[in-house]
Amino acid sequence: MNEILTEHVQCLIIGSGPAGYTAAIYAARADLKPVMYTGMVPGGQLTQTTEVDNFPGYPKGITGPLMMDDLKQQAQRFGADVRFGMITRVEFSADANVHLIEIDNGKTINAQTVIIATGATAKWLGIESEEKYNGFGVSACAVCDGFFFKNQEVAIVGAGDTAAEEATYLAKMCTTVHMLVRKAEFKASKAMFARVMSTPNIKIYFNTEVKEILGDDRGVNAVITIDNNTNEQFVIPVSGLFVAIGHTPNTAIFKGKIALDQYGYIKTLPGSTATNIPGVFACGDVQDHIYRQAITAAGTGCMAALDVERYLAHQMADLSFF
């Protein structure tokens, strides 16, 4: 019979993107001795990003993987224990001071506090060339990468509010934005639809899907589209393709364990990272479907660590009362 390994941790951080690493930096500096489990993709979505130009402190820009390594080293410098591993089961307790977390279907951690920073995953089209050019002309974030396509033609896929908002954002810096809508109508609100329609350099293609992305060793140079009604194919010369068909929060393991909204994002109290479970906090894209930026994720990571510090201080004060 195998011995069950159990470890007691004051502050456990699940996830290792900008939110998780920032939480680790602040928690370590507060001497909370944080333990972080990175998940299967240490660094999160930014490890799939080539250039990051909008994160403060990098005047010449930096690649996503290098920035995540910088944050990791900074967290470790203050004593954060960063480990590679996957959370396979959680049991949050609403009326106890300990939460049970299982790692890799084996080791068990009893955590006094938990910071969830598992992020969200962009939805993709699912074609092979999309993966090939991801980071080299294909992006899921216009605000992050639109600047690199200034004065060029781009295409964007999507029909909701996010796609409409990103299309109008791109239209401010790109010569033409080709907006590809799979169905015969928009899913966006009337206000967003009106904004798109009133933007002269946005060209809308209804009943249109991307069949293939063309490019070379320098990146994307065209997309092949297909008309769903006629099956007619068109080649649209573009330098970039933005996919804006939504994100999926990485919360599958937390369903039924913590309060989620209708889209699967973790609910937090306004102005706080606290969840409905005492001692459990959430930060970054796992609880933010509006901004989804590295800098906002880092900001909420800071908030989570401060919230944990205050939560533990209140616990100690309550114990000292008795």
Residues that are catalytic: 141, 144-145
Contacts of 254 (CB under 8 A, 6+ apart): 90, 116, 260, 266
Pairing type for strands 153-157 and 233-236 reads unpaired
Q: What are phi and psi of 110, to 5 degrees?
A: -100, 110
> Dihedral sign, CA of 267, 272, 273, 277?
negative
Hunting for tokens 């590809």 — which residue is that? 180
Pairing type for strands 6-14 and 35-37 reads parallel
Which residue from 241, 9, 189 is spatially nearest to 111, judged by alpha carbons?
Answer: 9
Hunting for tokens 């989570």 — which residue is that? 304
SS3 101: strand
